[in-house]
Amino acid sequence: MGGGAAGERRTLNDDVVVAGGGPAGWSAARACARRGLAVTLVDPHPDRAWRQTYGAWADEVPVSGPDALDPSVVAASAPVWAVARRTHRLTGAYAVLDTPALQGALRDDAVSVVAGRVVDVRDRAAVLDDGRRLPAPLVLDATGATQALSRSRRRVGRAAEQTAVGVVVPSAVARRVTGGRLTFMDWRPLHGRPGWPTFLYAIPLGGDDWLLEETSLARRPGLPLADLADRLRRRLVAGGLAADEIPLDDRSRVEHVRFPVDTPAHRSPAGVVPLGAAVPLVHPATGYSVTRSLATATRLADVLAARPDHGAVVDSARRAVGGRPGAAVHVMRRRGLDVLLRMPPADVPEFFERFFTVPPDAQRAYLGAHDDVVGSMGAMLSVFVHLSPRLRRHLIAGSLLGAGSDRSGEDGY
């Protein structure tokens, strides 16, 4: 467990209540507690172990600063490779986080933990599912894509989802497929299946384990997990593995991933500020959100500590979490997602081949730089310049037409 804030704790009127005990919720709770605020975190299963695998660009993991994580939360870090039509070495290192270590590092003894579910906020109080009320001049909604405290009636009819199925194998087995390279994307259709293209994501997990994961970047709705499992098996067999080296029947060695990447904007009631996927802060192309949540928690906690008056703090907190630059970048990336969904399946690997040839700074500005409007616009322009005339037409059509159905049905899915 982490230690609490040094010195006497101060309160923001009564409490800061965090609804949700995932990485976004605990990042904010820990950062606020470190600044002396009284924090209560509410989660239905506060002691449940996190199971997801989290990755990030190594230079975005906060190993220094007021809310630094111990470097031990990084299970592995290595150069990054991608394969589209050709093999590309990407700039920078990729970090895979040790999920149990991350969960332990973000917990803080100064945070009061309540088992339950926040279902409403009324009269400056968080209302729990069992009727309990917690004084809450400020509630941070970290309930994820469910957006449990949003008052918005607008919902995406069929959400675009990223889905994946992976297996954990020994490093010697993984090396026969990857050559020992941390592979961000391998778009080669070794699975032999038609339809919406998927790629292999291969990362070291620390120790002797590697994750080999068949991933569908975005599809509306997400590609079924059973189809991804079949593609993964076919890909790995084509790569030289025997059937008994692919532990798809061992639950302890299988990872299933499904999450939306186009949740609607959070319409917050009075006194509620959304965090993480509830904002949403998930990158609509990569699915990344953890390091952004960590950085946001620091900004948010600084604002709360500096502005204890209720009215000012809610407005300031909302700006710290979202802000106009971040919202503008997210809109641009949502348009990029629309382009991807409308693109003919056969052209998706070619699009990424072109993407991996743009200057490294432009690549990183698109994959990271969540609040850099100028950098994101420059990255999109750089990608456009590198596209073929046919792909440029698809990009323009997707940008003009907006959200729509994916094109994968043309090939049987």
What one-character DSSP code corresponds to residue 108?
B
Given a cut of 70, whether residue 96 has pLDDT beyond it is yes
Structure confidence at residue 82 as a pLDDT band (50, 70, 90): very high
Residue from 280, 329, 309, 3 nearest 138 by CA? 309
The reported pLDDT for the residue numbered 401 is: 53
Structure confidence at residue 413 as a pLDDT band (50, 70, 90): very low
Other CB atoms within a 10 A radius of the CB of residue 131 amount to 8
Residue from 166, 189, 159, 158 nearest 352 by CA? 189
How far apart CA 373 and CA 379 sit, in angstroms, is 10
Cβ 231 vs Cβ 187: under 8 Å: no
254 versus 365: the higher-pLDDT residue is 254
> What is the dihedral sign for C-alpha 366, 371, 375, 378?
positive
> Which residue shows structure tokens 């994916």?
406
Given a cut of 60, whether residue 2 has pLDDT beyond it is no
Cβ 29 vs Cβ 19: under 8 Å: no
The reported pLDDT for the residue numbered 280 is: 59
The reported pLDDT for the residue numbered 118 is: 95
The reported pLDDT for the residue numbered 145 is: 76
Tens-place pLDDT, residues 98-137:
999 999 999 999 999 999 999 999 888 999 999 999 988 8
Tens-place pLDDT, residues 253-282:
999 999 887 666 677 777 888 888 777 556
Structure confidence at residue 399 as a pLDDT band (50, 70, 90): low
Structure confidence at residue 319 as a pLDDT band (50, 70, 90): low
The reported pLDDT for the residue numbered 281 is: 59
Residue from 136, 148, 141, 142 nearest 37 by CA? 136
Structure confidence at residue 298 as a pLDDT band (50, 70, 90): very high
The enclosing H or E element of 148 equals: none
Given a cut of 50, whether residue 86 has pLDDT beyond it is yes
Tens-place pLDDT, residues 211-241:
999 999 878 788 999 999 999 999 999 999 9
The reported pLDDT for the residue numbered 150 is: 81
Residue 106 Cα distances to 30, 116, 182, 278, angstroms: 6, 20, 26, 19
Cβ 84 vs Cβ 350: under 8 Å: yes
Q: Is 175 left (phi over 0), alpha (psi -120 to 50) or beta?
A: alpha
Given a cut of 80, whether residue 321 has pLDDT beyond it is no
First to last CA, the chain: 47
The reported pLDDT for the residue numbered 339 is: 73
61 versus 393: the higher-pLDDT residue is 61
Tens-place pLDDT, residues 9-19:
444 445 799 99
The reported pLDDT for the residue numbered 123 is: 87
Structure confidence at residue 6 as a pLDDT band (50, 70, 90): very low
Cβ 163 vs Cβ 258: under 8 Å: yes
The reported pLDDT for the residue numbered 278 is: 74
Q: Please, which contacts does 367-374 make with residues 24 or more away whose CB atoms are closer than 8 Å?
A: 367/57, 367/283, 367/285, 367/286, 367/288, 368/57, 368/60, 368/288, 369/329, 370/281, 370/283, 370/292, 370/326, 370/329, 370/330, 371/323, 371/325, 371/326, 371/329, 372/325, 372/329, 373/325, 373/328, 373/329
In terms of average pLDDT, the best of 3-12, 225-234, 330-339 is 225-234
Mean pLDDT, range 371-394, rounded to an integer: 69
How far apart CA 278 and CA 143 sit, in angstroms, is 6
Residue 35 Cα distances to 6, 25, 31, 304, 310, angstroms: 8, 16, 7, 9, 17
How far apart CA 247 and CA 37 sit, in angstroms, is 47
Tens-place pLDDT, residues 9-57:
444 445 799 999 999 999 999 999 999 999 999 999 999 999 999 998 8
Residue from 204, 239, 188, 252 nearest 80 by CA? 204
Mean pLDDT, range 73-101, rounded to an integer: 94
How far apart CA 386 and CA 354 sit, in angstroms, is 6
The percent of residues in the chain predicted with pLDDT above 90, rounded, is 47
Cβ contacts of 63 within 8 Å, gap of 6 or more: 69, 70, 71, 74
The mean predicted confidence, pLDDT, of the chain is 82
How far apart CA 25 and CA 144 sit, in angstroms, is 9
Given a cut of 50, whether residue 204 has pLDDT beyond it is yes
